[in-house]
Amino acid sequence: MPQHRVAPLPAPRVLAQPVSMELLGPDVAVRIDTTVSYTSRDPHALSIAFHLPGEDSVVWRLDRAMVLTGALESVGEGEVHLRPALDGRLLLRLGDVTHRVTVRCDQEVLARLVRDTFVLVPQGTEERHIDWGPLLASLGH
């Protein structure tokens, strides 16, 4: 059986930045520390780790293009929804109908970080950064 040549992967590139966000309750907004990160090995996704006092961080992954769209208009389905807030910030609604939270953040800080991901991995080149080896090996290739 012929072996398929796989182009070498570019070196992994990573971004990570602490971002202050607010967890919105019915009558109060509580500041929550997060780390927003990106790795070129998962080129379509942005990860947001919510650092909870005394607990492990909770990590949500969002499509990086969806974050930019959410700054302009309401977007999302399932457990992730984003929309611009009236004050120019970004609202993220995360979770299912029974366990849902809304988080508010500085839209420009998040948008700038997402734009930086497109410098690291330009749109249309994402597939070149994914390590397909494990998947191909599991399929017996």
Number of H helices, E strands in the chain: 3, 8
Q: Is the pLDDT of residue 117 over 80?
A: yes
* Cross-strand bridge partners of residue 105: 90
Burial class from Cβ neighbours inside 10 Å (0-12, 13-18, 19+) for residue 55 reads exposed
Q: How many CA atoms lie within 13 A of 5 on its CB side?
A: 2
Let me know if residue 128 belongs to a domain.
no
Let me know if residue 4 belongs to a domain.
no
Let me know if residue 5 belongs to a domain.
no
pTM above 0.85, yes or no: no
Q: Which domain holds residue 97?
A: 14-122
Q: Report how far residue 30's alpha carbon sits from residue 13's, in angstroms, rounded to the nearest whole number.
A: 32
Question: The CATH number of the domain where 109 resides is what?
Answer: 2.30.31.20
Number of domains, the chain = 1
Using one digit for the tens of pLDDT, what is the confidence trace for 71-87? 999 999 899 999 999 99
Name the amino acid, one letter, at 29: A
Let me know if residue 68 belongs to a domain.
yes
